[in-house]
Each structure stands twice: as structure tokens, then as C-alpha cells.
Structure 1
Amino acid sequence: MIEQIIDFAADEVRTSESTREARLDWVIVVDSTLPPGRIVKAAASVAAPTGPAVPGLRAQGGTDADGGDHTGLPRSGCAILAAEPGKLRQVRVQAARRDDSLVVDMPHAAHVTRDRIVGGMGMLP
């Protein structure tokens, strides 16, 4: 459970600046020993709940010059890094100790027990 809300305040959202100038950094660290498909799955799986957990992270969508609608993207860039499993655990422990960090992880069990996890949440397979 998150005790402190990590968010983007409305007055600090500056669309004229690079996302690198944002106060918050978003980093996903993946297990470097996983095959490429599982790395992508893990990154997408932890990114999905991050948006709703960080108020103001997702920008308002818009319409392009051809009239196509687009969902808003994150206000902060997202770096994706890789680490060996031991280092990954160490990074997670350190981040979890900080009051100014949000940790969203995907334990190994989530890779191999999808049916039980998805079924347990009442989602359609």
C-alpha cells in the first residue's frame, strides 16, 4: 500500500519542456536473463498499473491533423534498464525503502501462473 501519493501537480506540467525536465523519473528495470518476449511482457505489465497509481502521469490525449484521436502518453519519459536477478532484487529492495518511490513489480510467479492470477482477479482469459 502506498502511504505517500506520488503525482504530478497541475502547475508543474509544462508541455513546452522535454520529459527529461520532469520532476519525477520513471524507470523500469527488467531481468536481463529473460528472453526478449518476456522482457517486453514484464515491462508492459508493470507499466499498465503505474499510470493509474501516479495521478497526473498521463497527459490528456488529442487529435492529430488528420482527425485521428490519440490517447494521452506519460508526461515523464520511461527508461527501461536490465539487470541480473540478484541486482534486480537489490534495486527493488532499495526502491521500496524510499518514501518517494512507487514500486510495481512482476514476480516470477506471474510469468508462470497466469491462469490462476487472471482467474483470481475475475478477468476473462
Structure 2
Amino acid sequence: MRRDPSPSSPCPFVVSGRLIRRFGLGAVAATGCAIFTLGVGVWLRRIDLDPAYAMTFLPGQMLTGAGVGLVIPALSSVVGETLPQSRWGAGSAMVDTARQVGMVLGTAFITLLHQPVSDLTGVRHG
């Protein structure tokens, strides 16, 4: 029997739906991005060689998770609000594609910033 790693994972989506109705898509998405950025900053400042999960990794993980929980429903809602119903599938696919391309490029950029002098010999030769 496989268990969901986080039984509370739907909670941010319920909360973000309520926030979107009250404050609007843009405000919730911007807030989620800011919270996510804060979480990444916490990771970059706290994580070191000592494996103290609760003090180093968990605070950043909680912030980035809350940020993603606000951003994804807001971005997904844009399709339903701006496109006609016949285009929802294509619009949703474009949002997901843009999100995935952004993750790849963001990861590559952050990796370049924090590993500016990488030796690629090991990568090239396995």
C-alpha cells in the first residue's frame, strides 16, 4: 500500500482558492513567489555540511512549499479566467510547459551561480 508523503498536501490549494477569491490572482501569485524566494534564501543561508534537518532544511522547505501552494493554483486559474472554454486544454498545457521550462532554466542558472568553476570532465566521460 502506497501512502501519500504528505496527507496535508491539498490544504494549500484550498487556502489559495479562498485567497484568490478575496485578493485576486495577481496578488496571490506574487505573494506565493515572494514566499518561495524567501524559502530558497533560507536554504542558501542555512544549509551546510551538518545534517541538522529540523534547523537547516525544514524552515526553507516549509516556506517553499507554502509558496508553491499559492502560485500553482493561481497560475492554473488564469487559463480559466482568460481563455474561452474550448481553449482550456491548450492554455493549461502552455502554463505547464512554461513552468517546466522555467524550472529547468532556473535550476541551471542557480547551479552556474554556485558552481562557477565546475570541471565537466567527469560529466563528459561518465
Shorter chain as denominator, the TM-score bin is: under 0.3
- Which structure: greater helix fraction? 2
Task: Work out which structure has the larger RCO, using CA pairs closer than 8 Å and 6 or more positions apart in sequence.
Answer: 1
So what's the TM-score if we normalise by structure 1?
Answer: 0.25
- Which structure: greater strand fraction? 1
Larger-Rg structure: 2
So what's the TM-score if we normalise by structure 2?
Answer: 0.25
